[in-house]
Amino acid sequence: MPARWGTVAAYAAVAAANQLLWLTYAPITTDVAQHFDVSESAVGWLSQVFPLLYVVLALPAGLALDRRFRSALLFGAWLTAVGGAVRLSSDTFAAALAGQILIAVAQPLILNAVTKIALVSVPDALAKGISLGSAGIFAGTALALPLGPALGDAGSLTPLLVVDLIVAVAAATWLTLAMRGVAPARADLSASARPDLAAPTHADLTASAHADLSAAARPDLGEPAHRDLSASARPDRAAPAHADLSASARPGLGAPAHGDLSAPAHADLSAPAFAGRAELRAVWGDRAIRRLAGVAFLGFGVFVALTTWLQALLEPAGVSDATAGWLLGAMVLAGVVGSAFLPELLVRSGAERRFLRVAAVVTASGCVFLALAPGAAVVAVIPLGVVLLGSLPVILELTERRSRSSAATAVIWLAGNAGGIVVAVLVQTTQNHPGAAFSLLALTGALVLAVA
């Protein structure tokens, strides 16, 4: 494997480790409650603290990655390992919660980096790089579901925590070694980081990072904005070299309204560093990114609600806890496969936006099927896993076309986690009426059609 793909693989391992440690206690909630002599609701906070902290820390983490990418990402990787060590330091609920909080703080520093690690390492295969990083995230989730019951019980959690710590330390060490060739700051802001602009090699990313930022090195930055927009908006005309920077010249984004182009993708290339609020305003001012954030809010909301409440919603139909666990595992595994292979195929055919609409229809249909035939849930959970998790790298790739900053990626993750909280709480209010709960999820999925 070339070194540049090794960096992406190392990142995927760190992302998987963070997800693995996040969900350590979730599959064995009852055993953990007995072990620590606390309520199951208290054990729930060991997992629920993650989306809550993500909502608070997503944007600051994105800005930190934009300013000091390598340092921020490696800090997140090693903080995950430190959190794992804290959990082992004392066999108490307080130590478990303290460790989980540290791991939760690390999570946005890791997940927000998924597009940028691909941009820095494999700029000529961006969609595939994002897919690999995203697959690592979901692989950690898939691994956590069987690992907990296999290694942990009410008698002892130590074997499970030791394995988690070994995985976290190994992944952080691998990423540290793999990122030695990555510039500590702003390497990815170079124009050479875009395959459609110039230098495709990893070495060029670091060598030309500063020089490419000057206006003199970028003749396209001297062109009037109106000429850039008009050229990119007319696919029937020969497009100049810089037209590829416009989102409207990229087939996956279609032809957005003129207002969507007010924050063109190349606007941030001339800035030596991102300026906090100004950068966030620029990201949120892009209508296309706001729409993608809306898709993430709704799609993540459905997925988180399903993973949280599927067992309870299927129980009245006679589905056992063990069967519900296998259904969740199958859904996540299908999502891992989908996120690894679908995005690159969609990018090649320019069908990303169309896929998001199809995913909305499949999600709504799958949830309606669960409402009508919960006993045959396996028929629905496989396609649900493919489209819900397979949509993430597609959304991230479309976001990267609009803005290469980690702040933009942070907005997507923030929206997704917020959606997970909101939709899961709404479903909780109807959990005693499975038909109504699944109908609510179907409606949520269908709303993507109005946003995508």
Say if residue 311's pLDDT is above 90: no
Mean pLDDT across 238-248: 38
Query: What percentage of the chain has pLDDT greater than the value 70?
Result: 78
Encode pLDDT of 244-263 as tens digits: 333 333 333 333 333 343 33
Encode pLDDT of 314-354 as tens digits: 888 988 877 888 888 899 899 988 888 888 888 888 899 99
Contact of 348 with 319, CB cutoff 8 Å: no
Contact of 103 with 83, CB cutoff 8 Å: yes
196 phi, psi to nearest 5 deg: -80, 0
Identify the band that residue 28 occupies on the pLDDT scale cut at 50, 70 and 90.
confident
Model pLDDT, residue 276: 64
pTM exceeds 0.85, yes or no: no
d(CA 321, CA 310): 10
Contact of 154 with 435, CB cutoff 8 Å: no
Encode pLDDT of 86-127 as tens digits: 999 999 999 999 999 999 999 999 999 998 999 888 888 888
Q: What is the signed CA dihedral for 319, 300, 107, 5, rounded to 10 degrees?
A: 100
Spacing of C-alpha 190 from chain mean position:
24
The listed range with the strongest mean pLDDT (26-30, 376-380, 428-432) is: 376-380
- Measuring CA to CA, how many Å separate 11 from each of 273, 396, 414? 24, 16, 20
Spacing of C-alpha 372 from chain mean position:
31
Identify the band that residue 289 occupies on the pLDDT scale cut at 50, 70 and 90.
very high
Contact of 434 with 149, CB cutoff 8 Å: no
278 C-beta neighbours (distance < 10 Å), count: 10
Say if residue 296's pLDDT is above 90: yes
Encode pLDDT of 29-40 as tens digits: 889 999 999 998
Encode pLDDT of 127-136 as tens digits: 889 989 988 9
Spacing of C-alpha 250 from chain mean position:
22
d(CA 213, CA 95): 47
Model pLDDT, residue 341: 85
- What's 208's DSSP letter? T
Mean pLDDT across 376-391: 93
Q: What is the signed CA dihedral for 233, 236, 237, 239, rounded to 10 degrees?
A: 60
The residues near 183 (Cβ < 8 Å, ≥ 6 apart) are 69, 70, 205, 206, 209
Mean pLDDT across 227-244: 39
Say if residue 435's pLDDT is above 90: yes
Cα 262–Cα 122–Cα 404 angle in degrees, nearest 5: 20
d(CA 336, CA 440): 25
Please indicate whether residue 431 or residue 369 has the higher confidence score (pLDDT): 369
Say if residue 313's pLDDT is above 70: yes
Q: Which structural domains are found in the chain, ordered by start?
A: 1-183 (1.20.1250.20), 273-452 (1.20.1250.20)
Model pLDDT, residue 180: 86
The chain-wide mean pLDDT, for the chain, equals 80
Model pLDDT, residue 127: 85
Contact of 4 with 118, CB cutoff 8 Å: no
